[in-house]
Structure 1
Amino acid sequence: MPLISEFYGIKIYMYWDDHSPPHFHAEYGDFQALIDILQSVVIKGMIPNKQLKLILAWSELRKDELMENWESARVHGEIKKIDPL
Structure 2
Amino acid sequence: MPTIEDFGSFKIYMYFGDHNPPHIHVVGPDFSAKIRIEDADLFAGDLPGKIARQARAYVGAHKERLMTIWQEFNG
TM bucket by the smaller chain?
Answer: over 0.9
- Residues 22-50 of structure 1: per-residue CA shift (max 9 Å, x gap): 00100122100011000111110001011
Q: Is 2:70 the partner of 1:70?
A: yes
Per the normalisation by structure 2, the TM-score is 0.93
Q: Which has the higher contact order (CA 8 A, sep 6+)?
A: 1
Per the normalisation by structure 1, the TM-score is 0.83
- Amino acid across the alignment from 1:70: W
Q: Which runs of 5+ in 1 are unaligned?
A: 76-85
Counterpart CA distance in 2 for 1:47 and 1:37 is 16
Indicate the SS of the match to 2:20.
Answer: coil
- Amino acid across the alignment from 2:2: P
- Amino acid across the alignment from 2:68: E
Q: Structure 1: which 4+ aligned runs deviate by more than 4 Å?
A: none
Quote the offset at 1:8 in angstroms: 4.2
| Identity within the alignment, % | 37
RMSD of Structure 2 on Structure 1 (CA): 0.9
Counterpart CA distance in 2 for 1:74 and 1:53 is 26
Match of residue 6 from structure 1: 6
Match of residue 44 from structure 1: 44
Q: Which runs of 5+ in 2 are unaligned?
A: none
Counterpart CA distance in 2 for 1:39 and 1:62 is 11
